[in-house]
Amino acid sequence: MNKNPNSLYRQILTGKAVFMSFLIAATFSSCSKNNEEITTEAQTNALSTDNVKKGKFGGQDITYERKNGMNFFQGDIVLTDKQLLEGSELNKGGASYSRWPNGKIYYTIASNMGSINVNKINSAISEYNNKTNTQWIYRSNQSNYVEFIFGSSSGSDGWAHIGYQGGKQTVSLDQYISVGSVIHEMGHTVGLYHEHTRKDRDQYVKILWNNIQNGQAYNFNIYNSGTDIGPFNINSVMMYWPTSYSKNGLPTITRADNSNFTYNRTGFTTGDINTINAMYP
């Protein structure tokens, strides 16, 4: 999932969701495990209908996948059981719950990550620290922090918890994930949802429902509980790939005029940066 430079991105924060037109488009539970050149990060293997659950998030009814003891929303966003509790204070949109205090995000890296992925993480962190108002700081003894963990040794995807939760939370990265996709997953951590779930998305893109894998259509639902920041950004680093969850190799998302768009996973666009900075002034 990717985005475009001079447009704002849509981010959604846990609780008081904030969407941005460019940021972070992830996937359910380690996205696709395939090369990004041919599949989207949001592409997953066929799932058992027994794992598909109904819940409430941000005050909205949602569908998610329960897998490996975790709740995957929109492919690569992990929601805690607490976040899914209907009637919870979290569903009332408290921004303080979703955003990292003072924009400071403390992190650590699992010892088995490997030097190549550590370099990717460092590159992504430099992008955040140099271009946005958030600051990723290596953890000393802070109790609220993110741990980068190693996912699949053969995949190219990742997943992350959404927004600030308190305590330890996680970003999972596969062996062959790109720096742009690391930025994407970190975008979920700062509170961004996927661009294609903005409330105004139908003005800009078309969802080709007949091309979507059986049981995966819910990943393309609009998330009404989020706040859209700036204009829709089809080139956002948070945008789904054009063939995300395709059952036949044909596009599942096109522009509203039926033309194709190019997947962006090279880094931030101006819109992405503006969105994050609006969230963290």
**Concatenated DSSP letters of 92-157:** G--HHHHSPGGGEEEEEE-TTS-HHHHHHHHHHHHHHHHHSS-EEEE-SS-SSEEEEEE--SS---
The region of weakest confidence among 169-183, 190-204, 217-231, 239-253 is: 217-231
Confidence of residue 86 (pLDDT cuts 50, 70, 90): low
Confidence of residue 225 (pLDDT cuts 50, 70, 90): confident
- Residue 26 pLDDT > 50: no
Residue 161 labeled ligand binder: no
- Residue 172 pLDDT > 90: yes
**Model pLDDT, residue 49:** 63
List Cβ neighbours of 151 (8 Å cut-off, separation of 6 or more): 30, 157, 158, 159, 172, 173, 174, 175
Catalytic annotation present for 185: yes
Residue 139 CB-density burial (10 A; 0-12 exposed, 13-18 middle, 19+ buried): middle
- Residue 36 pLDDT > 70: no
Assign domain 18-279 to its CATH architecture. 3-Layer(aba) Sandwich (3.40)
98/94 Cα distance (integer angstroms):
7
Confidence of residue 150 (pLDDT cuts 50, 70, 90): very high
Distance between alpha carbon 36 and the CA centroid of its chain, in Å? 15
Burial 58-94 (b: 16+ CB within 10 A, else e): bbeebebbbbeebbbbbbbbbbbeebbeeeeebbebe
Confidence of residue 257 (pLDDT cuts 50, 70, 90): very high
The average pLDDT across 202-225 equals 95
Mean pLDDT over each residue of the chain, to the nearest integer: 82
Q: Are 201 and 239 in contact (CB under 8 A)?
A: no
The average pLDDT across 59-63 equals 88
The region of weakest confidence among 27-36, 194-203, 230-239 is: 27-36
Confidence of residue 97 (pLDDT cuts 50, 70, 90): low
Nearest Cα to Cα of residue 189 among 118, 264, 67, 280: 280
Report domain extents, the chain.
18-279
Residue 196 labeled ligand binder: no
The average pLDDT across 125-142 equals 98
Confidence of residue 198 (pLDDT cuts 50, 70, 90): very high
**Model pLDDT, residue 113:** 97
